[in-house]
A = this chain, B = another copy of it.
Amino acid sequence: MQDIEILGNISQGTDFIKKIKNKKFVFSFVISYTATCEIPGITVAGANPDLLKFTAAADAEFIQYGYCKSIDAIPMTPDGKPTPALLTKVAIESADIPYFVVNAGSKVIPKLPCVELGLEPGKNITHESALDQKEVKKAVERGKIVGKSLSASTDCLIIGESIPGGTTTALGVLKGFGIQASVSSSMSQNPTDLKNRTVQNALKRLQSRDPLDIVAQLGDPMIPTVAGMLSTSSEFTNVILAGGTQMAAVLAFAKNIGFNEKNTVIGTTSYIMEDKTANLLNTVRQISDIPVLVAKLRLGQSEIIGLRAYAEGFVKEGAGAGGTSIACMIKTGLDSEKLLSLTEKEYRRITLR
């Protein structure tokens, strides 16, 4: 596995890869929404706030169908930087990994079969609590049920997410737990000040160190849902939390509800690890001694400008791209050069439509 770097708990990471080599994988894609994304300038998709609510649903539809049903185009910046769901789609299709969409409060319901958890979208943490505590409990409870069902007949459950504005709520939850953290961004120039200011203001509402209250005040529906899923699934099978700092926030909360650390890794892209504003490894270490697996993708070698942008600090990760790429390499033995060529082919298919 030359294209997977193991950081953090290296021996456990090495064992983890051995355990799941050539085994069965399932990918669950948790889509959600936080109105925090509506703060001007906080996310790359913010240029058009009306479209933000479609982001997660469009990603889910693109992975399923190869095109979107809820909007006319495939999520891509005007200058051709594609959604990371492109990488995810290539990875799970190449490795024939089954796919479940879990709707944990997305504002738009995707036009496909979708595990519906019946959760509300999260509110803007600038103005008010993200969720009420009852909703946090419900997310955990339903996440636990889904995690159990999805993990029952697989050797490895990959959990990815799509929630615009989610790095800010992740930062909020991490800070709420007293963890030294800074977070990544889908933009090259991370609006760190804006994120920190948003979180500092929201932190003022926090009256306790109660984990439920921390997530209710500062979080989003994705975090307790994925924590619930992790809690049960890691009892039964191996779990890849596919993402960057948002999965660190999940870990921080999950630690309070319980999960099996021996079966859990974070899987992400090298572009997250290279992000100097977000020291993911350092953040994770403060929470749990689990491995961080890094997909050494080669998008920087691409002839396609929009893909090369990932290596230049744009987008970087999302929609479970890193974790599914890792799973694909472990399951099939493909290397990241082959993944790049498949990704370029898929990029050309969608841009020629």
Contacts and interface: CB of A to CB of B under 8 A. Distances in A.
Interface of A: 24, 26, 64, 96-100, 102-103, 109, 111-118, 142, 145-146, 148-150, 152-154
Contacts of A111: 118
A152 B113 contact: no
Interface hub of A64, A97, A102, A113 (most chain B Cβ within 10 A): A113
B115 A142 contact: no
Nearest to A96: B152
B112 A114 contact: no
A153 to B, nearest CB: 5
Contact of A26 (B112, B114, B148, B152): B152
Contact of A115 (B64, B115, B152, B153): B115
A180 B154 CA distance: 42
Nearest to A229: B113
Given A98-B150, A98-B153, A109-B116, 6 more contacts: A26-B152, A97-B152, A99-B149, A102-B113, A113-B142, A116-B116
Nearest to A116: B116
Contacts of A152: 24, 26, 96-98
Contacts of A146: 113
Given A98-B153, A152-B98, A113 B24 contact: no
Contacts of A142: 112-113
A213 B249 CA distance: 51
B98 A109 contact: no
A252 to B, nearest CB: 23
Contacts of A145: 64, 112-113
Contacts of A150: 98
A149 B116 contact: no
Contacts of A153: 24, 26, 98, 153-154
A96 B151 CA distance: 12
A149 to B, nearest CB: 5
20 contacts: A24-B153, A26-B153, A98-B149, A98-B150, A98-B152, A98-B153, A99-B149, A100-B115, A102-B113, A109-B116, A109-B118, A111-B118, A112-B142, A112-B145, A113-B116, A113-B117, A113-B146, A114-B116, A115-B116, A153-B154
A113 B115 contact: yes
Nearest to A64: B145
A64 B149 CA distance: 11
A98 B237 CA distance: 13
A96 B236 CA distance: 12
A263 B153 CA distance: 19
Given A114-B115, A115-B116, A142-B112, A98 B148 contact: yes
Nearest to A65: B145
Contacts of A113: 102, 115-117, 142, 145-146, 149
